[in-house]
Amino acid sequence: MNLYRKLKRIFVIASASVALTACSGDFNEKEPNKEYVDLENYFEIVDIDGNEGVAIIIDGLNVGKGFIKEGNCYVPYECVREYIDDHYYWDNTEKILSYASSKRIYDVVQGVEEYKVNGAVNTYDKIIVVAIDDTAYINIDFLVMMNASIDATIYNEPNRAVFNIAKAVETASITEDTQMRSDEGIENPIVADLNKGTTVNILGDDNGWTMIGTEEGLMGYVDSSKLSEVSNKERTFNQSWMDTEPYTYISKDYTICLGWHQMEYDGGNDSLNSMISGADSLNVISPTWFKVTDSYGGISSIASKSYVDKAHAKGLEVWGLISDFNYDEEGNYYINDVVSTTSSRRELINNIIEEATGCGIDGINVDFEMIRLVAAEGYVQFMRELAINCEQENLVLSVDMYVPTGSNAYYDRESVGEVVDYLVIMGYDEHWAGCGEAGSVASLPFVQQGILDTLVEVPASRVLNAIPFYTRVWYEDSLENAPEGSVIVEDAINGDYALSSKAVAMGTAKEFLEKNGASLRWLEDIGQYYGECYIENRLARIWLEDKTSLTEKLNVMKENNLAGVACWKLGLESDEAWDAISDYMK
């Protein structure tokens, strides 16, 4: 809903709520209503926990309700995040407000007159955060001190905190004395009298009546004929700002080729040589060493310094991967509690940094795939805080992200992409086990769209796209012969059937088709070869990954000037996969 429609809805509701203050009866269009609205009702101001209520007005939008306590005005956290600055994070469990800038972490405990900057205490002459039930309220003076891009003024009768944060606004002047009304038309009650020459902000379209706002935060409608020509006004902001340093990034001056080295036990560290045999284009290896193991920030580690030394000797950087696939007895993934709670989030970060510096790796690769919507804000806060710690230790920070869809938008690629050195698109699993439909693991359109959608939010110079070194063999069985774990597919034309699949290496898939005499045909629309065959009355289908299909994907990456390629996973590729990557890296 855009600003105008939001305001329109608010005024429709407000007009109804102030009707009791207007004269009853029908109004003739030519007879203006002379009644004034009750501004307390108009702004829907209510007391909060025994404190005087305050309407929060941001760029003409009545966005919420705060309060005044001991002469200080407090703004609800939700309004601050949505309209002012989403770098604030409220931990409702430990009652801590945090703010992560590019270099520092600010913490405020509710009810105290101090804040911390990277752990160092700074005194403040007023309480910064007040928690009432499950809602946090932030002192308006602290918000202004922290952010140079806002102006805020408190007005009385009624109480309202007026924020101006837009860098530019449309303005006009009142050309003759008139009234601002609660809705379009002179039959509506008056919000305020406006004198000739008064400058107002334009909030809505000209429909004969125009929605406007005053500097004092009053909002309503005026006859459009009483307005001068609209002009644009640039706002200037004079407040100080505690932390203005921009984000900086570790940027490689070469095309990156990252390969994930999956291992579950420390014995996997001995397989480095075999994993990289023939991988001449590889320059970064990411061993899956670290796992979140509880709700308090604990991790397991199979990191090996000798592995790092060997990788370095072969010209490889090592970016250790941290995953979040562990869960409790009820099936709840630990990571969601960890990132949402300040002490656990900090413990996890400290453990990651300690392991990284202890074994001498070059970077961290965050692979959190089990974040739930309820923990989305905590996840972004975790990435912001981890980025600060990684920069202090000169560690490359990369993060793995799903191909963008509406269902995973809460991962907030834009915010996370702002703080990491590299964002890796997991450009595979278009079709996966249990999805209920056979198809390609990574068709060309899927890869293309994933890249384009990601580049809307993150610069290409900091984006890698991951390609699969695997595909799936899909099996269609009769219902009578359905394997355990199959998905039943309803097919009104050919009859219902059971669908199952298994992931296989590139070479395994090709050998399977050749062994069973399947013919291949090129599917131009998806950029892959396709083959099928019957094995004991089972239909087997494969969308093949080979040098040709990988080349198609790599060409898209080159066309979009990405920072490089990632590969899942080492050990599943065929020799021709490295031929394709070698051509891409040239």
Question: For residue 260, how many other CB atoms are within 10 A of its CB?
Answer: 25
pLDDT at residue 235, as a whole number:
83
Q: Which helix (H) or strand (E) holds 349?
A: helix 342-359
Six token digits for residue 234: 């640039």
pLDDT above 60: residue 179: yes
Q: What is the pLDDT of residues 196-207, one digit of tens each?
A: 999 999 998 878
> What DSSP string describes 363-387?
EEEEE-----GGGHHHHHHHHHHHH
Report the percentage of the chain scoring pLDDT > 70. Answer: 94
pLDDT at residue 3, as a whole number:
44
| CA distances from residue 86 to 128, 378, 388 in whole angstroms, order as listed | 17, 12, 17
* DSSP 3-state of 128: coil
pLDDT above 70: residue 11: no
Pair type for strands 538-544 and 564-568: unpaired
pLDDT at residue 188, as a whole number:
95
Q: Smallest Cα–Cα separation from 571: which of 255, 268, 265?
A: 268
Mean pLDDT of 413-420: 98
* DSSP 3-state of 312: helix
190, exposed or middle or buried, with CB in 10 Å at 0-12, 13-18, 19+?
buried
pLDDT at residue 245, as a whole number:
87
DSSP, res 51:
B
Nearest-angstrom CA–CA distance, 98 and 105: 7
> What DSSP string describes 10-29?
HHHHHHHHTGGGSPPS---T
pLDDT above 50: residue 20: no
Mean pLDDT of 313-340: 98
Q: What is the pLDDT of residues 198-252, one digit of tens each?
A: 999 999 887 899 999 999 999 999 999 999 999 999 988 766 666 778 999 999 9
ω into residue 189 within 30 of 0, thus cis?
Answer: no
Nearest-angstrom CA–CA distance, 516 and 542: 12
pLDDT at residue 28, as a whole number:
47
Q: Is the dihedral of CA 6, 11, 13, 17 positive or negative?
A: positive
Nearest-angstrom CA–CA distance, 76 and 69: 13
Q: What is the pLDDT of residues 463-493, one digit of tens each?
A: 999 999 999 999 999 999 999 999 999 999 9
Q: What is the pLDDT of residues 519-554, one digit of tens each?
A: 999 999 999 999 999 998 899 999 999 999 999 999
Q: What is the pLDDT of residues 89-125, one digit of tens each?
A: 999 999 999 999 999 999 999 999 999 999 999 999 9
153, exposed or middle or buried, with CB in 10 Å at 0-12, 13-18, 19+?
middle
Sheet holding 199-206, edge to edge: 190-194, 178-181, 219-223, 209-213, 199-206, 168-173, 231-234
CB 102 within 8 A of CB 245: yes
Q: Smallest Cα–Cα separation from 145: which of 54, 236, 244?
A: 244
